[in-house]
Amino acid sequence: MPRRRPGALRAARRDFEGRRPSAWAWELPPVDRLSPAASAEVHWALRGEAGDLATLLDKYRAFLRRPGNRLRLSPSLCESCPGCARDDVALVRDELAELYHGLPSEARHALGRVLHALDKEFRRRTLLASVPFRIGPDWRGRPYAWWHRRVYEGS
């Protein structure tokens, strides 16, 4: 039986610990509010999705910059469409969480600091719903995260 090379095994596990990003990753523009080293790790680990990470952070910040003391989440009109699904900030936060868990340690910690500050503002400006908009587990069987338990428009 053929044996898989260690590099192929690491690539399948997305194991980046102890490895430095390639030179091309250092030449790319920095990711939103991350250090140059963390930005290089993000570019290297996500391979093309780093722009997507910056877009998601922009959407999250745009929601938090809306005027008013209390914010209400608005559900997306079409959750199956990738563009329309990003109208719901809770789904944007889901995507940020998925990208966060796929990053190497230094980039994960740097992004965690950014998300922690944004989440603190999100919790302060939104209200906890008495009846969550999404009840029960998601399609993977996991319970919805805390950001889905905030007050939505019309509820």
**pLDDT value at residue 19:** 66
**pLDDT value at residue 126:** 92
Q: pLDDT tens-digit profile of 99-147?
A: 999 888 888 999 999 999 999 999 999 988 876 666 667 767 778 888 9
Angle CA(50)–CA(56)–CA(60) in degrees, nearest 5?
A: 145
- 4-8, 17-21, 81-85: least confident range: 17-21
Q: Determine the Cα–Cα distance for residues 111 and 53; give it in Å rounded to an integer.
A: 10
- For tokens 């008495």, name the residue: 130
* 91: nearest Cα among 69, 65, 59: 59
Q: Determine the Cα–Cα distance for residues 76 and 89; give it in Å rounded to an integer.
A: 9
Q: Are 31 and 100 in contact (CB under 8 A)?
A: no
Q: pLDDT tens-digit profile of 21-78?
A: 777 777 788 888 888 888 888 888 888 777 889 899 999 999 999 998 899 988 877 7
**pLDDT value at residue 155:** 62
Q: Determine the Cα–Cα distance for residues 79 and 35; give it in Å rounded to an integer.
A: 33
Q: Are 105 and 97 in contact (CB under 8 A)?
A: no
Average pLDDT over residues 5-11: 69
pLDDT surpassing 60 at residue 81: yes
**pLDDT value at residue 137:** 72
**pLDDT value at residue 14:** 56
Q: Determine the Cα–Cα distance for residues 88 and 101; give it in Å rounded to an integer.
A: 21
